[in-house]
Amino acid sequence: MAPLRSGFVRQTIEFLIALSLGILVLRTFTAEAYVVPTGSMAPTLLGNHEEVACPNCAMRFALGLDEEGRAGQPVCPNCGEDKLDGVPVVPCSGDRLLVQKGLYDFKRPRRWEVAVFHFPADPTQAYVKRVVGLPGESVQILRGDVYINGKIARKSLQEQRAIRILVYDSQFVAQDANRVPRFLFHRGRPRSGLTSTWRTEGPLLIHDADELTEDAIDWAEYRHRDPDRGQYTPIYDFNPYNGGELRGENRVSDLMVEARLLVGPDAPTVDVRLDSGADRFVITLPFHEATLPRVRRNNRAVPVSNAVSIPFQPGEAPRSSVLEASIMDHRLSVSLNGVPLFDPVDYDDPAAGYGSEVSPIGVGVRRGSLTIERLKVFRDVFYTSALANTPRRPFGVDEPYQLGPDSFFVLGDNSSVSNDSRFWSTSPVVPGDLFLGKPFLVHLPGQVVPLKVFGRSVYWVPDPREIRYIR
């Protein structure tokens, strides 16, 4: 039996050597791991943080830690609960990224792409930010948006999904929901006196079929309750990762709604309303009607290109569809089950002023049954003109910044605390040869949990819930 045992040991050793060489080759030529220490890209990428579970609505959210391991005042982004002192928290390490090395030797970074690069002022440090300005372009930050060569830089629907920041999720119902309701139900205009048949049932919004003869839309309107103000307000750029001490100071008009709709066969159409500033868009979706989707802006019909019909069979059972509708960067986008219903509607003449942004989103039907599951509201990143506690005037804000050949402008998603191209002391430029690669996976994120293994202390364990691809 000795030769067999010897052969098994040899095979095991050869396997381990080959595995080690494979990992070495992968790391050297293909991918390398990096740890995110700070929250300048939160919530896309998280630095060292605590996971807080809100006792009022049960949502879990990340609260960032500074270099000394101190956290700010936790405030739930979903229900606004701020009496969270003493609530158990789970310390977590920064995200661990797998970075595709050498990618930028064959292609240049694209706009809205997350990239890892050597910090120009200290090439020994690796930074991760989002690329927004490309070689030869002029870059300027105006009213929270990025402008390239004098025109607003728009994002595709896929890019919007990558950057969007969650504001509200109806799945997490607050215990005080009856005292501070998040939805307003009305048929026709508010205070019209017409009877609405909307109701809530736990996390669901349900419209019951009715016998009413009024041809008015029965609306379920989302009402925004600002987490750090404790009242109904427009949506601001509050980021719960930074804690309640750093308030959101800027109104955000770039919004997205996502929801699963169960549309009954007795509901011919569903209307979706989105307000952005003083502009109001209403999209009519014909679920059980042989017509194409329609769009109105400020009560005027808007032509759409390449509209597709929603297939249906008369009398079929309630159909389930995932709706995504957004107004970001002066662009209206609408998709159903991931498929765009028409080409994005772009406009460069936003109406001046603000509308009633306390209720910027609504879903309505004229008749029939409709159930809304897990309605989620998102906002876009609002790029600020100042860095918290820093008086330095930024690049690309007061006037456009002109990029030279092979020069890039980068920004962080956690705009108010991100030390990025806007606030570097000498130059905002990242030269192309300093890019290391593109992160594509958050792998083995971990919780900091003291354990004893063979008499040794281990303070980090993997948390597979947070493994995710980076868009």
Q: Which amino acid is at 445?
A: P
Q: Which amino acid is at 134?
A: L
- Where is mean pLDDT largest: 98-102, 310-314, 341-345? 341-345
pLDDT digits (tens, 9 = 90+) for 151-205: 999 999 999 999 999 999 999 999 988 888 999 999 988 877 788 999 999 999 9
Residue 227 domain flag: no
Question: Do 79 and 170 contact (CB within 8 A), yes or no?
Answer: no
Residue 427 domain flag: yes
Residues 275 and 336 both lie in one domain: yes
Q: Which amino acid is at 334?
A: V
Mean pLDDT of 24-40: 71
Q: Is the pTM of this model over 0.75?
A: yes
Q: Is the pLDDT of residue 457 over 80?
A: no
Parallel, antiparallel, or unpaired for β 255-263 and 60-64? Answer: unpaired
pLDDT digits (tens, 9 = 90+) for 330-355: 999 999 999 999 999 999 999 988 77
The reported pLDDT for the residue numbered 392 is 65
Last residue of a domain, one of 315, 349, 379: 379
Residues 211 and 289 both lie in one domain: yes
Residue 230 domain flag: no
Q: Which SS3 state, helix, strand or coil, does residue 352 take? A: coil
Q: Which SS3 state, helix, strand or coil, does residue 464 take? A: helix
Portion of the chain with pLDDT greater than 90, in percent: 66
Residues 325 and 214 both lie in one domain: yes
Q: How far apart are CA 70 and CA 320, in angstroms?
A: 45
CATH number at residue 306: 2.60.120.560
Per-residue pLDDT band at 6 (split at 50, 70, 90): low
Q: Is the dihedral of CA 460, 465, 466, 467 positive or negative?
A: positive
Residues 348 and 312 both lie in one domain: yes
Question: Do 92 and 463 contact (CB within 8 A), yes or no?
Answer: yes
Residue 234 domain flag: no
The reported pLDDT for the residue numbered 462 is 62
The reported pLDDT for the residue numbered 90 is 86
Q: How far apart are CA 135 and CA 301, in angstroms?
A: 39
CATH number at residue 437: 2.10.109.10
Q: How far apart are CA 64 and CA 37, in angstroms?
A: 10
Q: Is the pLDDT of residue 3 over 70?
A: no
Residues 371 and 278 both lie in one domain: yes
Residues 259 and 408 both lie in one domain: no
- Name the CA radius of gyration of the chain, rounded: 25
Parallel, antiparallel, or unpaired for β 435-442 and 96-101? Answer: antiparallel
Q: How many folded domains does the chain comprise? A: 3
Residues 140 and 72 both lie in one domain: yes
| Separation of first and last alpha carbons in the chain | 54
Residues 354 and 450 both lie in one domain: no
**Residue ranges of E strands in 231-299:** 231-232, 255-263, 269-276, 279-286, 294-297
Structure tokens of 392?
A: 């330095």
The reported pLDDT for the residue numbered 138 is 98
Residues 52 and 18 both lie in one domain: no
Residue 408 domain flag: yes
pLDDT digits (tens, 9 = 90+) for 362-404: 999 999 999 999 999 999 999 998 776 666 679 999 999 999 9
The reported pLDDT for the residue numbered 96 is 87
Residue 173 domain flag: no
Residues 200 and 327 both lie in one domain: yes
Question: Do 379 and 254 contact (CB within 8 A), yes or no?
Answer: yes
Residue 470 domain flag: yes
pLDDT digits (tens, 9 = 90+) for 433-448: 999 999 998 876 555 5
Residues 7 and 69 both lie in one domain: no
Query: Which of 327, 331, 341 is CA-nearest to residue 378?
Result: 327
Residue 215 domain flag: yes
Question: Residue 151: which domain range?
Answer: 36-164+389-471
Q: How far apart are CA 310 and CA 113, in angstroms?
A: 32
Q: Is the pLDDT of residue 16 over 60?
A: no
Residues 118 and 150 both lie in one domain: yes
